[in-house]
Structure 1
Amino acid sequence: MTSDPAGTLDRNKLFTARLHAVRVRPYLATALFALHVVESRRVPTMAVDPHWRCYVSPTFVARTPVEELAGAWVHEVSHLLRDHHGRGDRVARERGLTGPGERLRMNIAADCEINDDVFGDGLARPEGVVEPGSLLLPEGQLMEDYLRQFRLGPRTQHLAWLDCGSGADGLAREWDLGPDGGHALSRQERDAVRFRVAEGITGRPGNVPRGWQRWAEQAFHPPQPWRELLGAAVRSAVSASGVGEDYTYGRPSRRSAGVPGVILPALRRRPPRVCVVIDTSGSVSDAELGSALLEVAAISRAVGGRRDLVTVLPCDAAAQVVRPLCRAEDIPLVGGGGTDLRAGFARALRDRPCPDVIVVLTDGQTPWPASRPSSRVVVGLFPRASRWDENDPDYVADSPPAWARVVTIGSAPTAR
C-alpha cells in the first residue's frame, strides 16, 4: 500500500497500522478507536490535540512502514491518556515556563516518559526515537521529573522538528480545530475513554508494562492534596456567615436609638470553636488513628493555632470524654467496639458553649444523625473499597449526609 506523497492521505494504510497497534496493545483499543483522524500537511508526522483529534501528514504515512505507523498511533494516544496537555499547562504555570522552546522541552520530556513503554513486543522502534537514554537520563520517570534534568542544547538539536501537537504540551497549534471544531470529544467522553482503558489494564496487569500499570492505578485513584482540601473545608466552615457570632449587652446595638426605653444587644464575632469527633471503632486501623491525630494538629492550625478552641471526642458506639487539645499525641483514643457516631454528635452538641464546627474523622461505616445539627459539619472519610458488617452480610452503611462537607483522606481523595 503506497501513496503519492503529494496526494491524499492513504487511510487504508493508516487504519491497517491502527489495527496492528490494537492487536499488540489490546488494552489501548478503546483509546485508539476514539481518535478522529484529520489530514494535515502542516504537521511533521502525527500530532494530537486535547479533544482527541489526530492530525496526520500524508507524506509521513506514505514513507513510513505499517509497523512503525502502529508505534506512532500508540505514541500519540499515550500523550492523551496520560494528560500531558493538562500536566504541561500546570507545569508552565507553576514554574513560569513560557515560549516555544520550553514547550519543546515539555514535548521531549513527555516522549521520554512514554517511549520506554511503547516499542518492542510487536511495535518497531523507529530510528532516532526520543528515549531517556539518548539524553543520558534514567528510565521510568515522569515528564515533570525529566523537565528538571535537561535543557535544550547539543544533545537535543536533532529534535527541533519534534511536534506531537497541543495534546503533548498544552500549547495550541495553528492547525488545531479547537473545542468547537468537528469530532471533538467532550470532557465526559474523554474521561470515559480513560476509565475504560484503566479498567482493562487493571483487569490483566500481568500483560502490561509497569508504566501503564502505574498510570491505571492513578487514573482510578487520582492523587489530590487531600490535607489541603480538609484544611480548606475547615477554614471555610469556621469563617462562614453566622459561625462564631453571638449577642452581647456589653455594647448596645445602634438600633436601640430607634426603640426608646429598650436596650438591644449588639452582634459580636467571637473565635469559632471546633469539636473533632474521632471514630475509634474496630473498623478503623491504628495507622488511620495515627493519621487522625495528625489531622487534629492541622485543624488547630486552620483556626489560627488556638488549641483552646479545639476539643477532641473519641467515639465508637458510645461517646468518650471530651478533651481539650494540648498536644495531639497525648490524646488517648479509646474504643474498638462497634460504630455509632450519632452518640458522638449528641455528646458534642451538649457542650457549652456549643461547638460552631464539628469535624468527624471516620471510615463512614456508621449511622448518621437523622437531622442536620446546629453546628456545621466537615467529614474526613477514610476510604473503603466496600462497607460491610460481619453480623449482617447484606448491610450497607449510609453515605455521609448531604449537609456535611466531605473530604476523602488518603489514597483515593475526593471532595464534595
Structure 2
Amino acid sequence: MNADTRGEREAGTVDTAAREDGWTPGPPGTLDLDKLFAARLHAARVRPYLATALFALHTVESRQVPTMAVDRHWRCYVSPAFVDRTPVEELAGVWVHEVSHLLRDHHGRGDRVARQRGLTGPGERLRMNIAADFEINDDVFGDGLLRPEGAALPELLGLPGGQLMEDYLRMFRLGPRLKDLAWLDCGSGADGRERAWELGPYGAHGLSEQQRDAVRFRVAQGITGRPGSAPRGWRRWAEEAFHPPQPWRELLGAAVRSAASAPGAGEDYSYGRPARRSCALPGVVLPSLRRRPPRVSVIIDTSGSVSDSELGSALVEVAAISRAVGGRRDLVSVLSCDASAQVVHPLCKGEGIPLMGGGGTDLRSGFARALRAQARPDVIVVLTDGQTPWPSAQPPCRTVVGLFPRPLSAGSWDEDDPDYVPDGPPAWARVVEIGG
C-alpha cells in the first residue's frame, strides 16, 4: 500500500515498536509470519465475508516489492521490512486492500480496458493501479478496519467516491499531484501487467481459474447472506458476481427472431399460387403453403409496480422488436395492460404509443385480448416485472417474456399475505432478463 518515504527505521526503534505491540521480532531481514498472519486474522474478524478470500492467498516473501502485492494467481508478495515497521491494525487493512484487487478482477478488467482504449506502457498500468485503489479505498476502511497510512483516495484529486476503476481512468492523468504515488505497485493482480519478481502461471501455490471463481462465489454468498454488514461497493460487486451483466438487448432480439422464424410461424395456405402437387389432380386447385412476415403482439405491463424508466425502456424495445422481424411495423401491435387490457395500437413509432394503466397487474387479460385480434399474432412479446398471474394454458403461438428484474429481498408483493411471492414466468415462455 504505502512506501516508507522516510527510509528504514533504526533496528532499536523497530524492536521498541514491536515490544509495544506485543511482538518479538525475528532476525533482521526475515519475514515475521506471526505478525503477518495475526493481521490477516484480524482482517477476517472485522470483515468475515472476506475470510475465504483472505485465507486463499499464499504468501511469498519478497524484497522487491515496496509493501505488499498480489499476482493474478492469488499469491501475495510481502516485504519483510514493511511488515516490521507497520502496526498489525494497518497490516489488516493492507490484507483487505490486496485481496480486493483479486476479488474485483482488476487484472482482467485492466487488460480489457487496455485493449479497448489502446493503453500501453508501465505509465498507463500505474494509472490503472491508482484507479483500482481509488475504487477500493473509498469505502473499504472503517468499522474496525484501520486505513493504512498513505492510502490512495479519490479525494486526493478531488474526485467523487463510489466510482469504478474504468470511470476513474477517464477522470485523471498522471501529473505532479500524483508524484507521491509513483512508488505504488500492487502487482499484476491490480493492473494485469506481469512483474519480473512474480512466480508466473507455472509457479508453486497458484490457484487455477476454477479455484479463483469458487473463492469469488463463496465471498459473494457471504455478502448477499448478510448485506447489511457490507459496504455499498461490495454489495454491488456481489450482485454482479451472482448475476453478471448480460447483453440483454441482443438476447431479446435473438429470442424474438428465433420465435418469428420457427417452423409454423407466419405460415398459412394460400390460393394465390397453386401447389405443385395440383398436377396430380386434374381439375382440382390445391392451395400452397406460403410464408408471410410474422405478426408480433407486444404486451407492456403498465401496472403501478413498473417504473417510468422501465416503461421508457419498453418503448425503446418495441422499436427494436420491429427491426428484429424485418422492419414491418404494420405487423407489430402494442397493447398496454395492468389489471385489464387497454387499446391495441399498431406500431408507427415507439414514442407515439400511449401507455395507459397504473393499477394492479393481471396480464392474462392482455393475452386474451391479443389472441382475440382479427389477425392472430404468431409471436407474443411480454415486457413485465413478473408480478402477475400467468395464463394456465400455453397460447397457440410462441411467447417471449422480457422480465424487468426485481430483488427477492424487496419484501412481500401482497399486503395481506407477507409470505406471498408471485409465480415466475411459465416454462413455455422464453425468458430474457432486461436490465444491466
Correspondence 1:194 to 2:220: yes
Q: Cα deviation per residue 1:29-71 (whole Å; 9 max; x = unaligned)?
A: 5355443223243761322344544333445434544343223
Aligned partner of 2:36 among 14, 26, 38: 14
- Residue pair 1:137, 1:149 contacting (<8 A) in 2 also: no
SS in 2 for 1:322: strand
Q: Residue 264 and residue 176 in structure 1: after superposition, are their counterparts in 2 closer, same or farther (change >3 A)?
A: farther
Q: Which runs of 5+ in 2 are unaligned?
A: 1-23
SS in 2 for 1:39: strand
Q: Residue 392 and residue 28 in structure 1: after superposition, are their counterparts in 2 closer, same or farther (change >3 A)?
A: closer
Instruction: Pick the structure with greater CA Rg.
Output: 2
Output the TM-score relative to the length of structure 2. Answer: 0.74
Correspondence 1:35 to 2:56: yes
Q: Residue 286 and residue 143 in structure 1: after superposition, are their counterparts in 2 closer, same or farther (change >3 A)?
A: closer
RMSD: 4.0
Which residue number corresponds to residue 19 of structure 2?
A: none
Q: For the residues of structure 2 that align with 1:271 and 1:180, how far apart are their CA atoms?
A: 61
State the 1:361 CA deviation: 1.8
SS in 2 for 1:55: strand
Correspondence 1:150 to 2:176: no
Aligned AA (1:187) = D
State the 1:322 CA deviation: 2.8
Aligned partner of 2:189 among 167, 173, 178: 167
- Residue pair 1:51, 1:179 contacting (<8 A) in 2 also: no
Aligned AA (2:57) = H
Q: Cα deviation per residue 1:218-259 (whole Å; 9 max; x = unaligned)?
A: 533668465555445434544556544556565667x75997
State the 1:359 CA deviation: 0.9
- Residue pair 2:385, 2:404 contacting (<8 A) in 1 also: yes
Q: Residue 393 and residue 87 in structure 1: after superposition, are their counterparts in 2 closer, same or farther (change >3 A)?
A: same
Q: Cα deviation per residue 1:330-388 (whole Å; 9 max; x = unaligned)?
A: 54444556543333223323435432321112232323234443433221223343553
Q: For the residues of structure 2 that align with 1:170 and 1:376, how far apart are their CA atoms?
A: 46
Q: For the residues of structure 1 that align with 2:153 and 2:99, how far apart are their CA atoms?
A: 17
State the 1:269 CA deviation: 4.9
Which residue number corresponds to residue 297 of structure 2?
A: 275
Q: Cα deviation per residue 1:9-28 (whole Å; 9 max; x = unaligned)?
A: 432111112233345x4365
- Residue pair 2:404, 2:433 contacting (<8 A) in 1 also: yes
Aligned partner of 2:399 among 377, 382, 387: 377
Q: For the residues of structure 2 that align with 1:218 and 1:182, how far apart are their CA atoms?
A: 23
Aligned partner of 1:213 among 228, 232, 242: 232
- Residue pair 2:333, 2:347 contacting (<8 A) in 1 also: yes
- Residue pair 2:269, 2:288 contacting (<8 A) in 1 also: yes
Q: For the residues of structure 2 that align with 1:276 and 1:113, how far apart are their CA atoms?
A: 41
Aligned partner of 1:351 among 360, 364, 373: 373
Q: For the residues of structure 2 that align with 1:241 and 1:50, how far apart are their CA atoms?
A: 48
Q: Residue 363 and residue 159 in structure 1: after superposition, are their counterparts in 2 closer, same or farther (change >3 A)?
A: closer
State the 1:274 CA deviation: 1.4
Number of residues of Structure 1 aligned to a counterpart in Structure 2: 399
- Residue pair 2:381, 2:401 contacting (<8 A) in 1 also: yes
Matches within 5 A, 1:2-81: 2-4=25-27, 7=30, 9-22=31-44, 25-26=46-47, 29-30=50-51, 33-41=54-62, 44=65, 45-50=67-72, 52-81=74-103
SS in 1 for 2:77: strand
SS in 2 for 1:403: coil
Identical-pair percentage: 66
State the 1:276 CA deviation: 0.6
- Residue pair 1:382, 1:408 contacting (<8 A) in 2 also: yes
SS in 1 for 2:425: coil
Larger CA deviation: 243-252 vs 361-370: 243-252
Q: Cα deviation per residue 1:261-299 (whole Å; 9 max; x = unaligned)?
A: 798876655433211112344554566545544443443
Q: Which runs of 5+ in 1 are unaligned?
A: 206-211
